Amino acid sequence: MSMSAPVLEVERLRVHYLTRFGTRVQAVDDVSFQLNKGEILGIAGESGCGKTTLVSGCMGLFIPPLYHSSGDVRIGGQSIIGMDREQIRRDVLGRKIAMIPQGALNSLNPTRRVKDLATDMIVSHDDRAGKREISERLRERFERIGLDAKRVLDAFPVELPAGTKQRVVIGISTLLNPELVIADEPTSALDVSTQKSVIRLLFDLMDRGIISSMIFITHELPLLRHVSSSIAVMYAGEFVEYGSTEQVIFDAQQPYTRALMGSMLSADAGQRGKKPVAIEGAPPDLKNVIVGCRFAERCPSVRSDCAQHKQELRVVQLRKVRCQYA
Amino acid sequence: MPELKFQARDVSRVFGHGKRAKVAVDRVSFEIRDREIVSLVGQSGCGKTVLSKLLLRIDAPTSGELSFNGQPLAKVSDPRQHFRKVQAVFQDPFSAFNQFFTIRSQLESCFHLFEPKPSKSEIAERVDAALLAVNIKPREIDGKYAFELSGGQMQRMLLARIFIIRPEVLIADEPTSMVDACSRASILDYLMKLKQELAMTIVFVTHDVGLACYVSDTIFIMHQGQIVERGAPERVTGAPESPVTRQLLDDIPDVHRNWLERGERASG
């Protein structure tokens, strides 16, 4: 381990939304983790569990109705809580953290050419860059990520197939060589083969040193087995299990993680015919204050006192688990 | 031998003309029997959605013959007649419902397909029954609009429609790709229920062979508009003959297999 500060440190972060009627929804509750150079953290959970809200918090993007309640986020040792938005945009986004958004296929402005969109990315952080220099840089980078640079740069987004568009989005967001890339479900709208090539591209960017670490968000827990070095499983705004990929995938301790694995299909020969089991019910409404275990209502191994006691993350078999009976 | 639902002979669908012609479905022939679950599997752009639109009769083949229940589809003059018997569930549940009407009123409007239309109280009863069939308490959605529900709930509403209309054939076009993994398992359960309780024939369109393998009796693997391999799921996944099938199987991120090694180079 080098002595340099971790790429990203999140300490007891709590984030909430305020609804139109003043109700407070605690979307992220007491989340802590850190990410070192070269690491990939996978975050898995159902829709609505707070995955995307958590990464907005990690980037310091508190845009109403999203507010910071408490806790700290440090990037390269420097806290970004309390920085003003313009400073975050200029110094943090794109340079230190880049985001590959969830709807990447719809995130390119359809009325502008890829070239212009990419130029914006550079100019908005460096207004002295010359035209010639920019186009040279774009061509070089697009070729490096396996695109036909000349054709793609001149095209409008609609002219490109889904896989290429996804590469373009990745190419543009990593133009400034950010240390950390947050990929929010980058592959969920793609078919299995395109999904593989997109992940291969992300690995390639890491191996070439263009990016140094990654947060990969998905609801496909099995996919993380091949992508991340550690996994955090989120439920109703909290981390419920956080450990190495091997531990979480093959030896889950928390009932929710197990249920999530059980709801997955497998095409593996030995597993074929194994029925995926749906998790019945819905996650709790975070408008209400929940005292005990948030998964208690749906938990297959619930006990009578689960809903009464606050569950803390504790270490069970070398990973953190939020369940008093794990 | 059960009767045939769909029969296709050399069906093609070509978009555009001359040099710019794009062949989306290329001379496919197949039969879909009654109460069979058939999966159309392939990568994006292989023609599976175009083919399912042909079956739905919202698009017509440029050449070849497609018949339903022994009758050529081209001769059906009133599309409603066909829609009464063949219904679809699409990929994106959010765009499937009108945002300006309550869900309930849209479910009730399904009864326009019926002749004669049942009475109001009977309609209400049958809507409630359909909602219960997909595990939603009817009172839960009273007065609610499409945007107030989650993706999984919306997808179940679409299935509730199917429980109301009770078509002979259901075409499910990637019904699970927009919902998260835990809702996926329940959507699959409802599809099986439709088959078992209502004796429905299902055409399941997906890019995931694993999923197809789990639900279907027969799998058609499509590539560039053609059906390149067909057979029972055990055969297709156990001993694939076509390189396309092998590729599709390889690309599934299974936890027990090496899927991708770090350091493999990105390719164009």
Which of B39, B135, B180 should one mutate to test binding to chain A, selecting the residue with the greatest count of A CBs within 10 A? B180
Task: Classify residue A15 as left (phi > 0), alpha (psi -120 to 50) or beta.
Answer: beta
DSSP state of B188: H
Residue B173 lies in a domain: yes
Is residue A13 over pLDDT 80?
A: yes
Mutate to test the interface with B, among A160, A170, A191 (most CBs of B within 10 A): A191
Closest chain B C-alpha to A85 CA, distance in angstroms: 30
pLDDT of residue B153: 84
Instruction: Find the CATH number of the domain harbouring B170.
Output: 3.40.50.300
User: Does B54 fall in a domain?
Assistant: yes
Question: Mean of the pLDDT values across residues A123-145?
Answer: 90
Going by C-alpha positions, the residue among B185, B211, B207, B170 that lies closest to residue B47 is: B207
CB of A168 within 8 Å of any CB in chain B? no
Distance CA A10, CA A33 (A): 5
Quick check: A149 contacting B, CB < 8 Å? no
- The residue with greater pLDDT, A111 or B187, is A111
In a domain, B115, yes or no: no
pLDDT of A267: 52
Report CB contact under 8 Å: A267, B249. Answer: yes
Range of B187's domain? 18-95+166-250
Given a cut of 50, whether residue B268 has pLDDT beyond it is no
Side-chain half-sphere CA neighbours of B267 within 13 A: 4
> Model pTM?
0.86
Q: In the prediction, which pLDDT does B266 show? A: 47
Q: Which domains does chain A have, with CATH numbers?
A: 1-84+180-268+276-326 (3.40.50.300), 97-177 (no CATH)
Question: CB distance A265–B210 less than 8 Å?
Answer: yes
Q: Is residue B131 part of a domain?
A: no
pLDDT tens, position by position, B111-147: 988 888 889 999 999 999 999 988 888 888 888 898 8
Contact A174, A142 (CB under 8 A): no
Is B235 a domain residue? Answer: yes
Shortest distance, CA B7 to any CA of chain A (angstroms):
28
Q: Is A1 on the interface with B (CB under 8 A)?
A: no
Structural domain contains residue B32: yes
pLDDT confidence tier of residue B200, bands split at 50, 70 and 90: very high
Q: Is A279 on the interface with B (CB under 8 A)?
A: yes
Inform me whether the C-beta atom of residue B136 falls under 8 Å from chain A C-beta atoms.
Answer: no
Side-chain half-sphere CA neighbours of A185 within 13 A = 21
Mean pLDDT, chain A, whole residue set: 89
Mean pLDDT, rounded, for A140-151: 91
What is the distance between the alpha carbons of residues A289 and B70, in angstroms, rounded to a whole number?
Answer: 60
- Whose structure tokens read 């078999």? A317
Q: Do A15 and A27 form a contact (C-beta atoms < 8 A)? A: yes
Mean per-residue pLDDT, A132-146: 92
* B72 in any annotated domain: yes
**Average confidence (pLDDT) over B225-251:** 92
In chain B, the number of structural domains is: 1
pLDDT tens for B52-88 read 999 999 999 999 999 999 999 988 888 888 999 999 9
CB contact under 8 A, B189 and A270: no
Residues 6+ apart with CB under 8 A from B40: B48, B51, B52, B203, B204, B205, B206, B220, B222
Cα atoms found within 13 Å of the Cα of residue A165, Cβ hemisphere only: 21
B-chain residues within 8 Å CB-CB of A47? 150-152, 179-180
pLDDT attached to residue A1:
45
- Cβ-nearest to B248 among A192, A203, A226: A192
Q: pLDDT-derived band of residue B7, with 50, 70 and 90 as boundaries?
A: very high
Choice among A24-38, A95-109, B18-32, B42-56 with the minimum mean pLDDT: A95-109
Tokens 């007649």 — which residue? B81
Q: What is the pLDDT of residue B1?
A: 46
Q: What is this model's ipTM?
A: 0.78
CA nearest to B65, candidates B36, B21, B30: B30
